């Protein structure tokens, strides 16, 4: 169990810069999720930590050791690959034993460690089967088991849930969260799925185009996004973004005026507001029917426990808001929507959240 330290890590493939001067500290024992869209560099970063890629510049430290100059096997990390990468011609037992055999672990100890891991993951009955005879979920547990027996300082997961169907995915999320609680080892998890990030992480690292946008707990990232990108990437449904036509002042706070005339009183201090176009962001749960903007319902999505309603404002912008349970609304029906000014975010033209 060790903390991970990335210092000014950059990675270039030919002319393409995939990671730009990344620095990050992950304390020991955290379940850190690298979250971002495809191509943001999260997988590359993981592979650099694992030693499967070398950084173009920068350093990686695990605990007290500098690891970016070490071979993958010597770093004390274990990795669970997206497609599991189990050795197809070996049994589950041999798959799990391989790593330990390579460092000369005595056979009794190998057997003991495999039994422990197999018991933890409930795969003891599969030990003599080959990967080809296992289901996707079982293979994944074997891949995790292979990592556990090595007792690494850090676990690395490369989008391991993407190949599972939805039901299995939620079950496995819970198992991984439990695993982390039990083992208390540092875990680094890469995904593009923000639900996975929100549910499993103790710390989320949001990445975009080779840079870190924000590091924080799930709730921090959700409630206090640092940038418009983070605000729009995290949360389902995505945050509503509306252009701000002009800003007025009331009691030292900014009042955002939307193109259709609606005025929303925010809690953002009006001093130091940049010139240029501002964007207003508000989540679905902070829009409620009430005295406010005029809108017309265009799409209704009934999810069971709540309903998402998409409505067009007078100026044509579409917003989504939600109501618990079912609603009695029809397409085309006019509604009036109130915006909770205290929960509103304002973003400057550079995408940064304005906090005054």
Partner 1 sequence: MESWHRGRSLGDRLLLLAVMLLAIAWIAPIVWVVGLSFKPNEVLMRSTGGIIFPPFTLKNYTDILAASSVFGWMANSAIVAVGQTVLTLVIASLAGYGFARTDFPGRRVLFVLLLAALAVPEQAVIVPLHTMFAQAGLHNTYIALIAPRLAFPFGVLLMTQYFRAIPAEIEEAALLDRASRLKVFWRIVLPLSIPAQATLGIYTFLHAWNDYFWPLVSATKPEMYTLTVGLASMQTNFAQTEGIGFLMAQAVFAGLPVLILYLFFQRHIVSAVAGGGAR
Partner 2 sequence: MADPKGAPSRGSTGAAIGEKHAANLLFVLPYLLVLLVLLLIPLGLGIWLSFQDYDMLGGWNGGVGLDNFRNLLDDSIFPGAVRNTVVFVLITTPAFVGLGLFLALALNDSLRRSAVLRTVFFGSSVLSVTIVTLIWRLVYLPDRGLAADILGLVGLHGFDPVTSETWALPAIAVVTVWWIIGLPMTLFLAALQQIPAELYEAAALDHASRLTTLRNITLPSIRRTIAVVAVIEIVLQFQLFGQALLITGGGPNNHSRPIVQFIYEAGFRDLQLGFAAAASQVLFALMLLAALGQMWLSRRGEN
Measured CA to CA, the distance from residue 132 to residue 194 in angstroms comes to 31
50 belongs to the binding site for partner 1 (CB under 8 A): yes
State which residue, 81 or 241, has the beta carbon closest to partner 1.
81
Helices marked H in 103-185 — which ranges? 107-121, 136-148, 166-183
195 belongs to the binding site for partner 2 (CB under 8 A): no
Sketch the per residue contact string, 66 through 85, with partner 2: x for CB under 8 A, - otherwise. --xxxx-xx-----------
Radius of gyration of the CA atoms of the chain, in A: 24
State which residue, 70 or 90, has the beta carbon closest to partner 2.
70
The answer to whether 95 and 147 are in contact (CB under 8 A) is no
Measured CA to CA, the distance from residue 155 to residue 68 in angstroms comes to 16
State which residue, 76 or 292, has the beta carbon closest to partner 2.
76
150 belongs to the binding site for partner 1 (CB under 8 A): yes
326 binds, among partner 1, partner 2, none (CB under 5 to 8 A by kind): none
343 binds, among partner 2, partner 1, none (CB under 5 to 8 A by kind): none
213 belongs to the binding site for partner 2 (CB under 8 A): no
The answer to whether 281 and 238 are in contact (CB under 8 A) is no
- Counting every residue written for the chain, the total comes to 356
Q: Which residues contact 140 (CB under 8 A, 6 or more apart)?
A: 80, 84, 160, 163, 164, 172
236 belongs to the binding site for partner 2 (CB under 8 A): no
162 belongs to the binding site for partner 2 (CB under 8 A): no
Backbone torsions φ then ψ of 332, nearest 5 degrees:
95, -10
52 belongs to the binding site for partner 2 (CB under 8 A): yes
159 belongs to the binding site for partner 2 (CB under 8 A): no
13 belongs to the binding site for partner 2 (CB under 8 A): yes
Span from 66-74, 247-255, 317-325, 334-342 in contact with partner 1 (CB under 8 A): 66-74
In angstroms, give the least distance from the CB of 54 to partner 2.
6
Taking alpha carbons only, the member of 268, 297, 295 closest to residue 280 is 268
Query: What are the angstrom distances between the C-alpha of 18 and each of 5, 25, 132, 331?
Result: 19, 20, 35, 45
53 belongs to the binding site for partner 2 (CB under 8 A): yes
Query: Count of CB atoms within 10 A of residue 220's CB?
Result: 14
Sign of CA dihedral 224, 228, 233, 237: positive
Q: What angle do CA 161, 200, 132 make, to 5 degrees?
A: 25
Q: At what angle do helices 136-148 and 92-102 cross, to 10 degrees?
A: 20
Span from 37-45, 87-95, 133-141, 345-353 in contact with partner 1 (CB under 8 A): 87-95
257 binds, among partner 2, partner 1, none (CB under 5 to 8 A by kind): none
The answer to whether 247 and 273 are in contact (CB under 8 A) is yes
- Residue numbers 119-148 binding partner 1 by CB under 8 A: 146
State which residue, 58 or 72, has the beta carbon closest to partner 1.
72
State which residue, 50 or 118, has the beta carbon closest to partner 2.
50
Q: Which residues partner with 308 through β-bridges?
A: 301, 322
150 binds, among partner 2, partner 1, none (CB under 5 to 8 A by kind): partner 1
Where on the chain is the footprint of partner 2 (CB under 8 A)? 12-13, 47, 52-56, 68-71, 73-74
Where on the chain is the footprint of partner 1 (CB under 8 A)? 50-52, 71-74, 77-79, 81-83, 85-89, 98-99, 102-103, 146, 150
């Amino acid at each position: 169990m060790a903390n991970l330290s990335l210092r000014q890590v950059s990675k270039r493939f030919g002319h393409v810069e995939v990671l730009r001067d990344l620095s990050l500290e992950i304390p020991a024992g955290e379940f850190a999720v690298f979250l971002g869209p495809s191509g943001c560099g999260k997988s590359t970063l993981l592979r650099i930590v694992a030693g499967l890629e070398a950084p173009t510049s920068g350093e990686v430290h695990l605990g007290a050791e500098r690891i970016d100059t070490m071979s993958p096997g010597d770093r004390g990390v274990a990795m669970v690959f997206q497609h599991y990468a189990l050795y197809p011609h070996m049994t589950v037992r041999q798959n799990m034993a391989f790593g330990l055999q390579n460092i000369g672990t005595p056979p009794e100890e190998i057997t003991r460690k495999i039994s422990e891991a197999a018991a933890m993951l409930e795969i003891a009955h599969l030990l003599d089967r080959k990967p080809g005879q296992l289901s996707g979920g079982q293979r994944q547990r074997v891949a995790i088991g292979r990592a556990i027996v090595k007792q690494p300082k850090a676990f690395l997961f490369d989008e391991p849930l993407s190949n599972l169907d939805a039901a299995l995915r939620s079950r496995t999320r819970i198992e991984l969260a439990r695993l982390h609680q039990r083992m208390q080892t540092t875990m680094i998890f890469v995904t593009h799925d923000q639900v996975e990030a929100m549910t499993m992480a103790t710390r989320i690292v949001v990445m975009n185009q080779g840079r870190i946008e924000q590091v924080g707990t799930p709730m921090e990232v959700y409630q206090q996004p640092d940038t418009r990108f983070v605000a729009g990437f995290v949360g389902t449904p995505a945050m509503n973004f509306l252009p701000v036509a002009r800003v007025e002042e009331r009691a030292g706070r900014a009042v955002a005026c939307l193109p259709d005339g609606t005025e929303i009183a925010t809690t953002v201090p009006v001093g130091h507001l940049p010139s240029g176009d501002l964007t207003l962001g508000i989540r679905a749960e902070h829009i409620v029917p009430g005295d406010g903007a005029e809108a017309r319902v265009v799409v209704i999505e009934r999810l069971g426990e709540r309903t998402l309603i998409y409505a067009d404002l007078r100026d044509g912008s579409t917003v989504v808001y939600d109501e618990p349970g079912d609603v009695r609304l029809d397409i085309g029906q006019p509604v009036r929507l109130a915006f909770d000014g205290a929960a509103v975010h304002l973003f400057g033209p550079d995408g940064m959240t304005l906090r005054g």
